[in-house]
Structure 1
Amino acid sequence: MRSKIILTFLTLLFGTMVMAQTGTMRGSVRDVKGEAIAYATVSIPKLKLGTSADSTGKYELADIPLGTWQVQVSYMGYDSYFTAIAVSNALPIERDFTLNIGDASLGEVVITGTMKDVSRLASPIPVEVYTPSYFRKNPTPSLFDAVGMINGVQPQLNCNVCNTGDIHINGMEGPYTMILIDGMPIVSALSSVYGLSGIPNSMVERIEVVKGPASSLYGSEAMGGIINVITKNPLSAPMLSADVFGTSWGEINADVGTKFNIGNATGLLGVNYFNYKNKVDNNDDNFTDMTLQDRISVFNKWNFRRKENRVASIAARYVYEDRWGGEMNWNKSFRGSDEVYGESIYTKRAELIGLYQLPVKERIFTQFSYNWHDQNSYYGDVPYMATQRVAFAQAYWDKQIGANHDFLLGVAMRYTTYDDNTPATASADGSKNEVAKTPLPGIFVQDEWTLNDKNTVLLGYRYDHDKNHGNVHSPRFAYKFSPNNNNTLRASFGTGFRVVNLFTEDHAALTGSREVVIAEELNPERSYNGNLNYVLKIPTESFFLGFDITGFYSYFTNKIIGDYDVDPNQIVYDNLSGHAVSRGVSLNTDLTFTFPLKVLAGISYMNVYQMREDDLGVKEKVVQWHAPKWSGTFVASYAFPKGFSADFTGQWNGPMRLPIQPNDYRPEYSPWFCVANVQVTKKFDKGIEIYGGVKNLFNFIPKYPLMRPFDPFDRTVDDPVNNPYGWTFDTEYNYASLQGIRGFLGIRYNLF
């Protein structure tokens, strides 16, 4: 009896000791380069147990009960890492973690702000970086749609019929945004309207965004900001990737990429195909709510292995697109006629990009790009036929002088030819056609001076010579102060310039829906710009909070803006008698918890206007079209066990001023609205993902998209009884897509 009691006691005591026994896990958290990630969070969400790494990336998580638990490792700017650990005794578990640069990271290494590879933290120019995984939280068929997830970047549809558009940064129109591919100015002018679609997602490594002036490095058109599409290095790309999805509206998008080796070269081939052939007219105006499209884009890039790791690459892309929108009974037999209204656009585009580092001791790089754009289009019975060729080449010397000076010296040449069937290329007397030829040579210099480990100064200057407008000077100054890793202050100032060609960049000027009146010879636009940026990181044991706030101000001494108010049938362009201002504040926040929830949110306030002088010399304030004072974006992501995740994304806009006609029944300002989306993703083994969800969850659709859709050729405009105000057919009243709520389903596959 006594032995049974002793045995029972020992059993209970041993069980209590086992239950009370806990384990410890310790190690380090580093990035893919092996550098420590200070203050990273290591946690077991189910147990509400967590800790933070120290300044050297080392951590220790104690008091872990025996069992198998899911561990989460996270830090701002990196993908969260999840793994299972088994705690079976009190012996410490040694476990190191490596985090990959993630969605909100505004990337570790950037090139756009200074034209050289630098740490984003060390760059004196604020650069935002977004990877494809960020845009996959709301899958879209084109870059044009995807960048709407970036705070302060607004994809603006310019036509309710053909659905063409451009990208606004900080409220400034599309022509002020320069689109680069691998640092080369590949999308601009004519293609700013039609060339933003069809860039295969399989080729994109990341997208870098610089908001504000960059003319000192990139020249004309870089007045509002830069979107630089960095393509993948074929050496590190997957062997095979595929992403295919469709929507309940009948849209099909397929993106496929593969790589292969030939000798000392590695090639990357990407193909994007988008098709939409479903006529939808939910608002019953007898016009298609969304343009029908058939587009294919083929991209091929080669990287070459050279001695001493010198770089060499060449890439080419070809895009063909057939799009049309119009009356529901339109077909191609009516193209260019005045029987049934339709807007039909055939676009062919070819691009070539190259980079070569010279085989010399100094770091000297040469770059070139060439793009050819051919457009065959009809807007009703008004033809617009245009061909544009842009050749660009530059060479620059990247030199480290001493320990504190990072010097850059370069020369550049851009040569543009443009031909169309409008007055833009007619001779002075209008008797013949003359191809516009515009050479633009330039030279630029930049010095990044590291005063000490907390202070950096950047000085830049660019000189360009335009054959029509003479010498153009573009200086730039930037300053960065970082007292520690959690606080960074940046200030920058620069000037910008742009030579305007209405018929290559302003959709309203070429559609024929209004007569274009050029009141005088148009001078170059010039601006003075300033930015102030502050980044704050707040790491804690239970969450990480980051703030990125920027104030911006641009002052234009001349700005070319279409005046829609003079006559409902005209757009009048002339030099600005007065000045224009674009100013505001943009705030981005990043909140990462120890449990698998991450929230990104941004809000922008903009005040964009012109001060014009009337005929009596009195200045009046005119608010710019399509520039909402308030706008924002949000992304909330949660990772569930067993490979499931959910994303809730959206963009919202406050009221924006719209072009209206005299005595118009449509309001001059759009309403507040939000376009939200939800997605669920399941990850399987061997690189397979299935995803699906709902777009435009709240089913927001603009009212009054078209004026007088029953008379698109204005045959009965002069009817004082039925049309007393003289309203005319107009497609420019636009502030959001006419696509309502729709479901989507897709599959991804990656083989490394």
Structure 2
Amino acid sequence: MKQIILALMLAVAGIGVAVAANPIREGNMISGHVLVKGSEENIPYATVLIVGSGQGTVSNEEGQFEFKNLPAGKYTLRVSAVGYKTQEKAIEVNKDFTAVVHFQMEEESFMTDEVVVSANRNEVSRKAAPVVVNVMSAKLFEMVNSTDLAKTLNYQSGLRVENNCQNCGFPQVRINGLEGPYSQILINSRPVISALSGVYGLEQIPVNMIERVEVVRGGGSALFGANAVGGTINIITKDPINNSFQVSSMFSNMDGKSWEQYMGGNVSLVSKDNSYGIALYESYRNRNPYDRDGDGFSELGKLNMNTFGFRAYYRPTHFSRINLEYHTTNEFRRGGNKFDLQPHEADITEQTKHIINSGGLSYDLFWREYKHKISLYGSIQHTDRNSYYGAQKDMNAYGKTDDLTWVAGGMYVGNMNNCLFAPATFTGGLEYQNNSLHDVMTGYHRDMQQDVRIASAFVQNEWKMNVLTMLVGARLDKHNLIDKLIFSPRVNLLYKPTEDFQARLTYSTGFRAPQAYDEDLHV
């Protein structure tokens, strides 16, 4: 009997040694662990992305993560977590064994290495970007207790948000001192915010739909076209990464005179194999009019707003991705006095009711181990506005405005091992924009229509050497209200002799396109 027990123990021990000495025999899979360097503590909920594919996940409570059903090939993983330096590692996946990788994260006092897309239209580390990109994250939104984008931009250097109307208090952002119309506001890199919707647009974007905001100061027309003279503000909406939900509520008071209520909710659902996911958000905001000096006229108007939206993705294959997004905003605002009366019965009233519907669809296709990518995209935004801008009980000051903006295009990105003298990334694409505005004020016998159409082509090449990065690019725009082609060049140099020292030199241009709508004219 003792001999049988001894034989069984030796057999079990032999099996254990064999398992420990060989890798896990489950192919087409990556398994990993995210730890704190030095202490070896687990880092839960770190974001783990496969660079270039758009595929991602988060580490669990033990800091572990995995990707299953991956085609054999070489991949680059990027791990980021709040308070730690972003890390990247290359790994090779095969069909026979699980690829195992561990990340030891170093603590960082300031977030200086986020991934950004506004520098060159491609995902790139902020430290490696050839232009300076300032990033505002969800952490900042929580710290400053903001409910909308307008309340957050003041915390970014070089930006200033002003309330430019004493009655309705419409906000505009100045970049490098230039007025709001000289800056381009983008949603997921698409210029769908028109001159009309941009008047109150900063307050119509709740923070619970935003993943981050990227700000580039200086001319950006070579990348994003018209109006990017002072700079660009790129709003990146939340992408589904893991199963989660969040509910928030806030009450605030200004000078003991005016109350404001905010409620928001987020839900994110992702399949086990990361083949599809959806992130939904909803927000409600109600603000009473604010009269600072007690003269009976509002400095900040009454505001009531509801927003609902979602962003979803589906991966037909490991080398393709379809993105769909949509959001709708129903907003009422009024400034002036005698809020309990009809607009034409007050001494002065500025009142608008907006119904905004906006959405986008894109398709990304990768090949050759994600070194090449083609993107096809389209975005659209429709604004239906009923307004009253009048004084002295004017019955003729009612108006109605219909505004439609859409953009469609395609882009190719190719990574080359050598282009002339160094490895390079080439980006080229075509884009077409259309904006149709129809404004009617029957009492003033005014019926104005304007159609703006812009056809564009852009190219750029970015060379990456040991300590020097050089980007050269240009864009051609044909505006239907301008006879000549508009040429917008850009040249960017990044000198990085050490990890902690960087020097950048930039030349860029921008232009502002003709447009009928201007808030100063109260069209």
Cα distance in 2 between the residues matched to 1:111 and 1:101: 22
What SS does the corresponding residue of 2:384 show, helix, strand or coil?
strand
Secondary structure in 2 aligned to 1:307? coil
1:373-403 Cα shifts (integer Å, max 9, x gaps) = 1221112233343211111011010011224
| Contact 1:357/1:365 (8 A) holds in 2 | yes
Counterparts of 1:168 and 1:445 in 2: how far apart (Å)?
A: 28
Q: Which residue of 2 aligns with 1:396?
A: 411
Q: Distance in 1 between matches of 2:252 and 2:117?
A: 36
Q: Aligned partners of 2:500, 2:477: CA distance in 1, in Å?
A: 39
- 1:119 is displaced (CA, Å) by 1.2
What's the counterpart of residue 413 of structure 1?
Answer: 432
Q: Where does residue 133 of structure 1 map in the other structure?
A: 139
| Equivalent of 1:269 in 259, 264, 280 | 280
- In the other structure, the counterpart of 1:437 is 451
* 1:316 counterpart SS class: strand
Is 1:300 aligned with 2:304?
no
- 3-state secondary structure, aligned to 2:150: helix
- Letter of the 1:411 counterpart: L
Distance 1:421 1:218 in 2: 31
2:384 corresponds to 1:371: no
1:307 deviates by: 1.6
Conserved in 2, the CA contact under 8 Å of 1:241 and 1:256? yes
In structure 2, how many angstroms separate the alpha carbons of the residues matched to 1:440 and 1:454?
38
Query: How far has the Cα of 1:310 moved from its partner?
Result: 2.5
Number of the residue aligned with 2:128? 122
Q: Give the Cα–Cα distance (whole angstroms) in 1 for the partners of residues 334 and 282 of structure 2.
A: 22
1:487 aligns with 2:492: no
Alpha carbons 1:336, 1:379 under 8 Å: kept: no
**Equivalent residues in 2 for 1:34-433 (5 A)?**
78-79=82-83, 98=105, 104-236=110-242, 239-248=244-253, 249-260=258-269, 264-277=275-288, 279-327=289-337, 329-331=338-340, 333-337=341-345, 339-358=346-365, 362-380=372-390, 381=394, 382-403=397-418, 404-421=423-440, 433=447
Residue among 461, 468, 471 paired with 1:447: 461
1:384/1:510 contact within 8 Å kept: no
How far does the alpha carbon of each residue in 1:333-369 deviate from its partner, in whole angstroms, 9 at most, with x for none? 42235x5322111111110122211376641011211
Alpha-carbon RMSD: 3.0
Amino acid at match of 1:108: E
| TM-aligned CA deviation for residue 26 of structure 1 | 4.3
Deviation at 1:468, TM superposition (A): 2.1
Q: CA deviation at 1:122?
A: 1.1
CA distance in structure 2 between the aligned counterparts of 1:301 and 1:100, rounded to whole angstroms: 31
Q: Deviations over 1:600-654 (max 9, x none)?
A: xxxxxxxxxxxxxxxxxxxxxxxxxxxxxxxxxxxxxxxxxxxxxxxxxxxxxxx
2:512 alignment partner in structure 1? 498
Cα distance in 2 between the residues matched to 1:417 and 1:204: 27
Q: 1:106·1:130 contact (CA, 8 Å) conserved in 2?
A: no
Q: Any conservation in 2 of the 1:29–1:99 contact (CA below 8 Å)?
A: no
Distance in structure 1 (CA, Å) of the matches to 2:355 and 2:445: 29
Structure 2 residue identity aligned to 1:367: Y
**Residue 282 of structure 1: CA displacement?**
4.3
Change (3 A) 1:394 1:101: farther
Q: Distance in 1 between matches of 2:280 and 2:48?
A: 31
Note the C-alpha offset of 1:78: 4.8
State the Cα distance separating 1:109 from its structure 2 match: 1.3
Q: Residue 214 and residue 324 in structure 1: after superposition, are their counterparts in 2 closer, same or farther (change >3 A)?
A: same
Whole-angstrom distance in 2 between the partners of 1:356 and 1:491: 34
- How far did 1:432 drift? 8.0
Change (3 A) 1:262 1:360: same
Q: Percent identity?
A: 25
Q: Is the 8 A contact 2:136 2:214 kept in 1?
A: yes
Q: Tell me, in whole angstroms, the C-alpha distance in 2 between the residues paired with 1:500 and 1:422.
A: 22
State yes or no: 1:463 paired with 2:473.
Answer: no
Task: Give the structure 2 partner of residue 715 of structure 1.
Answer: none
Distance 2:251 2:231 in 1: 33
* Amino acid aligned to 1:316: Y
Q: After the TM superposition, which residues 587-736 of structure 1 pair with which residues of structure 2 at under 5 Å, given as runs? A: none
Q: How big is the shift at 1:97?
A: 5.9
In structure 1, give the amino acid aligned to 2:383.
H
The whole-number CA distance in structure 2 between the counterparts of 1:156 and 1:77 is: 33
Describe the superposition over 1:57-83 as per-residue Cα deviations: whole angstroms up to 9, x where unpaired. Answer: xxxxxxxxxxxxxxxxxxx995279xx
* Counterpart position of 1:723: none
Partner of 2:58: none
- Using a 3 Å threshold, how does the CA distance of structure 1 residues 123 and 280 change in structure 2: closer, same or farther? closer
- Identify if the C-alpha distance between structure 1 residues 170 and 292 changes in structure 2 by more than 3 Å, giving closer, same or farther: same
Q: Structure 2: which amino acid aligns with 1:407? A: F
* Residue identity matched to 2:474: Y
User: How big is the shift at 1:175?
Assistant: 0.7
Question: How far apart, CA to CA, are the structure 2 residues paired with 1:108 and 1:398?
Answer: 21
Give deviations 1:260-301, integer Å, cap 9, x for gaps: 358943111100110123x54341211124311110011111
Q: Who wins on radius of gyration, i.e. which is larger?
A: 1
Tell me how far apart the structure 1 counterparts of residues 114 and 153 of structure 2 sit (CA, whole Å): 20
Q: CA shift at 1:405, angstroms?
A: 1.4
Q: Give 1:114 deviation, angstroms.
A: 0.1
Secondary structure of 1:508's counterpart equals: helix
Question: How many Å apart are 1:163 and its aligned residue?
Answer: 0.9
Deviation at 1:142, TM superposition (A): 0.9
- Verify the 8 A CA contact 2:194 2:405 in the aligned structure 1: no
AA paired with 1:218? F
Amino acid at match of 1:346: K
**1:77–1:107 Cα contact (<8 Å) kept:** no
| 1:443, distance to aligned residue in structure 2 (A) | 0.3
Aligned residues: 419
Matches of 2:83 and 2:491 in 1, distance apart?
34
